Amino acid sequence: MVYKVNVVFMEDEHGYYVYCPELPGCHSQGDSFEEAKANIKEALDLYLGTMEPEEIAEALNKDILTTTMEVKVA
């Protein structure tokens, strides 16, 4: 079965950190974007492999919208 999963990548001086907002504890990292992408795919395969289809459908039934905002700090 193929599922649509939201993932968030964040870059810092050590590489990339990536996580799945719908799946608590499902996160990974990598030195490069491609490595982080491969690592989170493996984490997703393992995480989802422990769940029943009904649990997966319930966990992944949300659309997550993101945007960038400017915030003025006094």
pLDDT at 14: 94
**Mean per-residue pLDDT for 29-42?**
98
Q: What is the topology classification, in CATH, of domain 8-59? A: Double Stranded RNA Binding Domain (3.30.160)
Residue 63 pLDDT class (50, 70, 90 cuts): confident
pLDDT at 2: 85
Query: What does the DSSP 8-state code read for residue 23?
Result: S
Rounded Cα distance, 70 and 68, in Å? 7
Instruction: Report the SS3 class of residue 13.
Output: coil
| CA distances from residue 40 to 27, 28, 70, 71 in whole angstroms, order as listed | 6, 5, 29, 30
**CA nearest 27: which of 37, 12, 15, 17?**
17
Evaluate if residue 4 carries a pLDDT over 90.
Answer: no
Evaluate if residue 37 carries a pLDDT over 90.
Answer: yes
| Dihedral sign, Cα of residue 47, residue 48, residue 54, residue 58 | positive
Evaluate if residue 26 carries a pLDDT over 90.
Answer: yes
pLDDT at 53: 93
